[in-house]
Homo-oligomer: A and B are copies of this chain.
Amino acid sequence: MTTSLSRRSLLGRLLAGATGALATMAFGRHDMPLQGAMPAVPPDPTKVPGGPTSVLGARSAFESPERILFATASKTPLQDLHGTVTPSDLHYERHHGGVPGIDPERYTLLVHGMVERPTVFTLADLKRFPAVTRTHFLECSGNFTPNAPENITPQELCGMTSQTEWTGVPLATLFREIGADPAATWFLAEGEDAAVLARSIPVSKAWDDAMIAYAQNGEALRPCNGYPARLLLPGWEGNTNVKWLRRIELASEPFMTREETSKYTEALKNGTARQFSFVIDARSIITNPCYPERVQPGWIEFRGLAWSGRGRIATVDVSVDEGATWQRATLETPVQTKAHTRFRYLWRWDGREATVLSRATDETGYVQPTVRELVEARGPGAGPYHLNPITGWRLKPDGRVLFRTEPWA
């Protein structure tokens, strides 16, 4: 992407765009088909006083990013986002009993079971402990649909992954404070929602990198993301990161809750199912261009996200020939562990039909599988959780961008 030839060609496209813009200007106000009331935009903003200061800096009325809504979930508009931060109000949500209203002054977290000193912590107590700040993705384990149609967006396909700078207290600190019994191997994490969602978590995760998070991107958690405090298990499937956390109980065996028996287990091809499949496998997706965009021949920067629950993304490879050959994409730095990593790949499209795929590899050597490899390993009934196959986009000669995945079985 540094040859003068490539830049010159890019320039050609840009000048064409600029000409169009000048033509628009000559015809005055360009009305956009946006929803809602349009803002008062003066013909020349330099000739009238601008707006005043405000307590909160609202979005432009021309911008209206939205989560897609389902009964118990909403999805992040991945294709509308840049960089790696997910704005807090666009973080995906998933709940099993709705979003509870919790008064932070009344909130408490009970830690008990196999501990020396059962303790009730207030929110103020949690905030007084030495804090840590870590940037991690959070992904629902049910974030994929086999045999998805061509007219699907990144948000629809896998918008249940988001990224946040979390702040909280390491769970290990609390466990040391209350004297966790060395014989305790599991703990129950229980939420204060109407579902009283509960999961069994190995204590080893507490000693590793689990935290009780109370802040999200600098400020208090949003209610749909666990206000005032939630469990955060970096790299582990979303539902184990119990929101509205009210109780932790240490024990010597798992608790076998509903969410780890009837749900959140995955069928394997030998007729059995696997349980406690916590870790999110490495995955990537090209977020731009995507359906329903239209593209033109010439230089296109393919942009996407890659992430792994096992550690850092090592490489992302892009194929423009449906997987026959692969080229290395550029990763934005810093590449953080268990975090969305932005990748970019500049390619000159000649206008002929082409399929562009992305493939993530993490620092443990785990390589994102093809659909075929995934089905071979886990069977055609695999899912609905922990599906992370290679996918991509088919560029059509008419400029359409259509989702591309292999048939499931």
Contact = CB atoms under 8 A, between A and B. Distances in A.
Interface stretch (A211-219, A263-271, A351-359): A211-219
Given A57-B222, A102-B41, A103-B62, A131 B82 contact: yes
Interface string A88-127: 1111010101111111111010000000010111101100
Contacts of A182: none
A391 interface: no
A379 B346 CA distance: 53
A202 to B, nearest CB: 23
Interface in A4-41: 7, 10-11, 13-15, 17-18, 20-22, 24-25, 29-30, 32, 39-41
Contacts of A65: 219
A354 B244 CA distance: 38
A73 B165 CA distance: 27
A13 B105 CA distance: 17
28 contacts: A17-B124, A18-B120, A24-B105, A25-B108, A41-B103, A42-B100, A45-B100, A45-B102, A48-B194, A49-B194, A50-B100, A51-B99, A51-B101, A51-B223, A53-B73, A53-B99, A55-B67, A56-B67, A57-B223, A59-B219, A62-B228, A65-B219, A80-B219, A85-B217, A87-B87, A128-B301, A130-B344, A334-B336
A293 to B, nearest CB: 11
A69 B57 CA distance: 11
A97 B49 contact: yes
A74 B53 CA distance: 6
Interface in A323-372: 332, 334, 336, 342, 344, 346
Contacts of A82: 131, 133, 167, 214-215, 218-219
A17 B42 CA distance: 56
A344 B83 contact: no
**Looking at chain A's contact residues, is the secondary structure mostly helix, strand, loop, or mixed?**
loop
Interface residues of A, number: 116
A224 B53 contact: yes
Interface in A50-80: 50-60, 62-63, 65-67, 69-74, 80
A192 interface: yes
Contacts of A15: 117, 119
Nearest to A227: B60
A46 interface: yes
A15 to B, nearest CB: 7
Which of A41, A47, A87, A93 has the most B CB atoms < 10 Å from its CB? A87
A23 B17 CA distance: 67
Contact of A98 (B49, B165, B214): B49
B29 A133 contact: no
Nearest to A300: B128
The 10 closest A-B pairs by CB, nearest first: A50-B98, A45-B100, A82-B167, A82-B215, A83-B133, A21-B122, A51-B99, A57-B222, A56-B89, A17-B125
Contacts of A121: 14, 17-18, 21
A50 B303 contact: no
A63 B105 CA distance: 12
A81 B218 contact: yes
Contacts of A89: 56-58
